[in-house]
Structure 1
Amino acid sequence: MSDLVPLDRLGPALVQATGDPAWSDLELELIAGGKSNLTFVVRSGAGELVLRRPPTGTLLPSAHDMTREARVQRALAGTDVPVARIVLADDGDLLGVRCYVMEKVEGHVIRGSLPAPFEGPAAREHLSFAFADTLATLHAVDPAAVGLGDYGRPDGFMARQVRRWTGQWQASRTHDVPEIDELGRRLAAAVPTQQRSTVVHGDFRLDNVVYDGEDPRTIRAVLDWELSTLGDPLADVGLLMLFWAGPQDPTLSLIPGVTHLPGFPDRDAMVARYAASSPVDLSDLAYYRAFAHFKFAVIAQGVSARSAAGAMAGQDFGDLDHEIRQLGRAGLELV
């Protein structure tokens, strides 16, 4: 681990940032499952923190920008959006790549199973609606009021997103996948009119939030802000629809889920909950759902390529080609 995070540099930096000399003697543990950036728990006699840095190897343009992650969380700290406190952020002097360290928020991160306090039907509905409400809360933040007025270019957002992810696809693809190529072309030709501009998370799903240890109605922190920017909030809603799998949906191996289990509200109920506190016209939602399939297919291809190149600290996510094609076909059906 010391080649990825030099402890002789990190320790003194944390001592300076926190004022606690106990951080001079620390150890690291990789949090397995991180599919884009590398995330570590940092431990010392002072407690635990979390460090995020990019993967090793060649990085795609504009990807893995840790400075943006730290900036948006600092900006949102005074709002109703729950975020982790940033301890330090570095532009490359510390590790040779941009990184940041944040507090470790205690609670539950839900991936492929539910913690015991969240097992009952009422708890499943509570945690679901808390999730939808948190997304609506994020989209209600005035970017300029929290210092994020220049955090992105909201005008023409979806057209640029399609171009950006098409470019990422061209940069990371290893062979032809006609379904993805055709989906990208159709999305580029049918961009809907943008209704409003907000902070967009870009990867809003259950395993990117931390729930309270006992109360499923309370989210303690929203994590993984790598893809955040200013843009069309319906892009986040489209992703929520992709990740909120029902009992009949195919499994996404990169996103172990629980929403297919009995007692979870379906997609329609989640969208209705979001719309109850976020004024929005949902007539173009199928487009945003199709874009979510396209974007996640490109992300999956990037994960597969980084894993094969050994850039994920030994994590192997296997052959994702079937899922990428499946995402392309499903996206084409939507659009």
Structure 2
Amino acid sequence: MTEELPGLDPQRLRAYLDRATPGLVAGPLTGRVIAGGKSNLTYAVTDGAGVWVVRRPPLGHVLATAHDMAREYRVMTALRDTPVPVPRTYTLCEDPDVLGAPFYVMEHVAGTPFRTRDEIAVLGAERTRAAAESLVATLGELHAVVPAEVGLGGFGRPSGFLERQVRRWHKQLDASRSRDVPGIDELHERLARTVPEQSAPAIVHGDYRLDNVLITPEGDLTAVLDWEMATLGDPLVDLGLMLVYREQPDGLVGDSAPATSAEGFPSSTELVELYRAATGRDVSQLAWYVAFGCFKLAVIAEGIHLRHSRGLTVGAGFDRIGAMVAPLVERAHATLKER
């Protein structure tokens, strides 16, 4: 389990863990990069007996407020005793002198973050549907958690959340510009003009989708991952973005069809009804949230495209991410016309 580990020095990590969590690690560490993510870097490390997961920000060009290790660590720690399955957290290091950036260490949980139709085919149609239903049910459980009861009462500012989100992602777009993207500024203006009345606030994951959870061969959901954009706000942004991923744009998973296109995976309409039945929330304005999800994902993809163009990405597939942006913008405009 050893390979080149950009952004992680196993010896420095071992020395830190011996100080921060005595007894956790029993020998020299080796590791590997866990592929698939296009944002934070994730590694599996082992001492030959135990296995842990390390998360740190990407190399170079880190957008302001993005890739917040303390945010991920805090929300997963807070959710430990709720119905929402999360890995156990061990330590957060905010000293950049250890690995060059803040990072945290968490439990390694069994399961697969299914990304492609070929990968999820091993489940079969029945277990694929069960996994999708668990995905929606878990989202409903997250949105039912009372933030103050788990120590997250001050985790975000729900009032004015949607307006701030639209402004925030336009600011992130400005920080990631490297080329002209037709229609994206007009999309921002349309979203800002048509913000709906907010749904009752809840804990928002921020990037909720099938390949940000772990699924067992039996179709059980064992953990929700990637909490870097979690906050308190309108939970329908999670549902809207999940629907964007349900109809994934070409390029997100390379040359393979997305896992959400597999036999047995519910349609977008079915997913919405499952969520509405589980939560009782009003989903009549969901088109706006889907369009906003397209905008947010387009901005994220543009930031990744910029990092890739500067040679600052680690892993395969980054060369295709830039091609996602224009179709996402077009889909958002079309979705807003349907309102």
Q: TM-score, normalised by structure 1?
A: 0.93
Which residue type is aligned with residue 4 of structure 1?
G
Match of 2:275 in 1: 274
In structure 2, relative to structure 1, the CA distance for the partners of 1:179 and 1:320 (3 Å cut) is farther
What CA deviation, in whole Å up to 9, does each residue of 1:185-225 have, x standing for no partner? 1001111111210000010011100113x321x21100000
Within 2, Cα distance between the matches of 1:65 and 1:250? 26
Cα distance, 1:262 vs structure 2: 2.5
| Partners of 1:109 and 1:206 within 8 A in 2 | yes
Gaps of 5+ in 1: none
Within 2, Cα distance between the matches of 1:200 and 1:110? 22
**Which of 169, 173, 190 is residue 169 of structure 1 equivalent to?**
173
Within 2, Cα distance between the matches of 1:19 and 1:174? 46
In structure 2, relative to structure 1, the CA distance for the partners of 1:21 and 1:291 (3 Å cut) is closer
Cα distance, 1:322 vs structure 2: 3.5
Asked if 1:52 is matched to 2:30, the reply is: no
Within 2, Cα distance between the matches of 1:240 and 1:89? 28
In structure 2, relative to structure 1, the CA distance for the partners of 1:123 and 1:152 (3 Å cut) is same
In structure 2, relative to structure 1, the CA distance for the partners of 1:106 and 1:284 (3 Å cut) is same
Gaps of 5+ in 2: none
Cα distance, 1:257 vs structure 2: 1.8
What CA deviation, in whole Å up to 9, does each residue of 1:289-324 have, x standing for no partner? 000000000011111111222222354511444421
Match of 2:91 in 1: 88
| Partners of 1:11 and 1:26 within 8 A in 2 | yes
Asked if 1:146 is matched to 2:150, the reply is: yes
Asked if 1:123 is matched to 2:117, the reply is: no
Which residue type is aligned with residue 118 of structure 1?
L
Match of 2:335 in 1: 334
Which residue type is aligned with residue 291 of structure 1?
F
Match of 2:40 in 1: 37
In structure 2, relative to structure 1, the CA distance for the partners of 1:254 and 1:165 (3 Å cut) is farther
Asked if 1:235 is matched to 2:237, the reply is: yes
Asked if 1:251 is matched to 2:246, the reply is: no
Which residue type is aligned with residue 98 of structure 1?
P
In structure 2, relative to structure 1, the CA distance for the partners of 1:241 and 1:252 (3 Å cut) is farther
**Which of 197, 201, 204 is residue 200 of structure 1 equivalent to?**
204
1:95-106, aligned counterparts within 5 Å?
95-106=99-110
| Partners of 1:108 and 1:115 within 8 A in 2 | no
Within 1, Cα distance between the matches of 2:121 and 2:293? 31
Match of 1:110 in 2: 114
Which residue type is aligned with residue 227 of structure 1?
M
Within 2, Cα distance between the matches of 1:87 and 1:22? 12
Asked if 1:25 is matched to 2:24, the reply is: no
Within 1, Cα distance between the matches of 2:139 and 2:292? 18
Secondary structure in 1 matching 2:37: coil
Within 2, Cα distance between the matches of 1:331 and 1:322? 16
| Partners of 2:59 and 2:313 within 8 A in 1 | yes
| Partners of 2:251 and 2:323 within 8 A in 1 | no
| Partners of 1:14 and 1:23 within 8 A in 2 | no
Which residue type is aligned with residue 110 of structure 2?
E
Match of 2:301 in 1: 300
What CA deviation, in whole Å up to 9, does each residue of 1:206-261 have, x standing for no partner? 1100113x321x2110000011100000000100111112xxx7524258622212
What is the root-mean-square deviation of aligned Cα atoms in Å? 1.8
Cα distance, 1:12 vs structure 2: 2.4
What CA deviation, in whole Å up to 9, does each residue of 1:65-124 have, x standing for no partner? 1111010000000100000011111112532311001111012221113356511x2212
Within 1, Cα distance between the matches of 2:321 and 2:132? 28
In structure 2, relative to structure 1, the CA distance for the partners of 1:16 and 1:116 (3 Å cut) is farther
Within 2, Cα distance between the matches of 1:166 and 1:176? 14
Within 2, Cα distance between the matches of 1:291 and 1:195? 15
Greater than 4 Å deviation, 4+ residue runs: none
